[in-house]
Structure formats: C-alpha cells, structure tokens
Amino acid sequence: MSYQRIDLSRYIVVSVCFSCNNDCLICMLSGLKDRLPGIDFENFKRVITAIEEDGRFRNLILSGAEVTTFDELEMYIQFASSLGWFRKIQLQTNGRRLSDKGYLRHLIDLGVNEFFLSIHGREEIHDAITRRTGSFRETMAALRNLEAFDVNVITNTVLTKANFYDVLPLMGQLTQGEVSELHLWNFFPMERRDSRDLVVSLRSLLALLPSLLAVVRAAERPLVLKSFPECLSTGEPAFLDSRFPVTVLPDLFWKKFGDSGFGSCIYRDRGECRSKSCWGLSRAYLDKYGEEADLLRPIASPADLSPRGEGKEGGLF
C-alpha cells in the first residue's frame, strides 16, 4: 500500500515560548528553558511576514517548550492564520491542555489544522518520563478529543531505556485511534555523555523493530524513524527520515546543540558516505557503545535522500 506522510522539510518552526507544564527527563531544552527568550508579538509578526515574503514555506509549526502554556498563543495563531498563506498550522505539544475540548475547539477555529503530540509510554512510564502525575491521562484525553475534528494528528515518541519495553504496547494502543502516522525518535542527549543512562543501542532498536513493524503494518500506518542513521535497513511501513524543518530558535540553543556533538560517523569522517541528511551518532552514543562500524555502512548515492531541512534560523529575535 501507499503510506502517506508529511514532509517536515516543507515546514518552518517558530518557537514562541519556553515555559512548560512537564519536566521531561528527555527534554533537549533542559537546563536552558529559563535562559531562552520567547518571541514577543511584534517580532513574531516580523518573522511570520518574512516567511511569507520568502515564499519557501507554506506550512508553519508553532512550538516552544510547551506552546499551550503561552498565554498569548491565540493572538499568535490568529495573526499567522490571517495572512492566508499557510496551508498547515501545526502545534507541537504534549497535549495536556487539549484535554479541554473547548480550548481545543477554539484553537482549531483560529486556524490550527495539525497537531504533533508527544507521548512516551503508557501511564506509569509516561508520567515518570514527564515527571508529572496524570500527564498520560490528559494526553490520551486530548487524542480522543481530536478525533472529533477534521485535523491531522501525528504522535511522537522518543526511544529511551526508560520506555524501551513499553514502546510496543504503546504503539499498539495509539494505532487504535485516528493517528495518521507515528514517529519514533532517537534520543540525543544535549550533553557529551549519557549521564542518565537513557540512550538505546542500535542493536536493541533492530531487535525491537520487527515487532513494531508488525503492529503498525496491521494498522496500515507508517512508522517514521527520526534521527537514526539512514543506512539502517528497515523496509515499509518504517521510514528512516532525517529531514527536519527549518527552526527559528535563539542562538543560545544552537550553541548548546553544537557542543553536544551530533552527526558523528566514521564513514562520513572518511568521506565514504554521500548522505547529506543523516544525523549519524551522538558523542554520548559513541562514548557508550562505540562507532558501530559493523552495523553502519556508507551510502553510495544520495539520489533518494533530501538535504536536511533543519536549518538554523538564529538571530531573528
């Protein structure tokens, strides 16, 4: 069958705030949230207008730490929608506030037509990762509420040692709803070593993958593997996709991101791999599991790969 997926390289992300109602163990903003500036409304209007004038991106993602904790979110959505330029306005969210159906309906009425919800395990596991009791129940209530509206819903799960044995039943549960695609993300710690022992080995992923594929294949949904080395063999309905949207974030985040050493690979270092989009391995992974030379292989031709969409857009606010 033909699996329909969104192409994130056709989106642009604007992070509007850095407050959050979770305190996730896996957050890439951990330790930075209090130091990152949000974007005020005048600068937001300037950025959004510049995106329209540039003409490359017809899809907008509003993000944050947790965008629904931003008191002025409705005003920002309304402005972006009023331009009539964006085909998709997506919220990246943990979904907790969407458990309020009236609030959800209001966001949709303002122009949001796509939701990207993070959920990292079933109840006990998810609540332990978010460090918020009841967060799983609220996110699942949001997913049920979303089924009443004509919007696209995508889920996002970050694979870690904390949820490794829960991912399979979680995916089975999620495929019972109206989720169009499921994303499974490799955990990249924003540090040079895995201080919390959360990074999963590629061998463990490959052992889990056949069971995951059986679950999503039965439900006729795509499983999108994000930030894993592109040379790993999968096959449909799994898709190794390292394309990310251009992201507007403060320069402080990009400095920390660069210091964390993502994108390492012996084949890239030797100039043997021609992929332009692969994220390779992190320094934390190399420190823990090594170079994985026997699992990885150089990609001879980039013909079927697209350059990473995730450009840095710093200095805008």
Q: Answer whether residue 138 is part of any domain.
A: yes
State which residues form the domain around 17. 8-261
Q: Answer whether residue 128 is part of any domain.
A: yes
For residue 279, the model assigns a pLDDT of 82
Q: Answer whether residue 181 is part of any domain.
A: yes
Which CATH number do you get for residue 230? 3.20.20.70
Domain count, the chain: 1
Q: Answer whether residue 309 is part of any domain.
A: no
Q: pLDDT (tens digit, 0 to 9) for every residue of the chain, 317 residues total?
A: 788 899 888 999 999 998 999 999 998 776 666 677 789 999 999 999 999 999 999 999 999 899 999 999 999 999 999 999 999 999 999 999 999 999 999 999 999 999 999 999 999 999 999 999 999 999 999 999 999 999 999 999 999 999 999 999 999 999 999 999 999 999 988 888 899 999 999 999 999 999 999 999 999 999 999 989 988 878 899 999 877 788 877 776 767 677 677 788 889 888 898 887 788 899 999 999 999 999 999 888 654 343 333 444 443 33
Task: List Cα–Cα distances, 288 to 24, 74, 131, 254, in angstroms.
Answer: 22, 44, 25, 24
For residue 31, the model assigns a pLDDT of 67
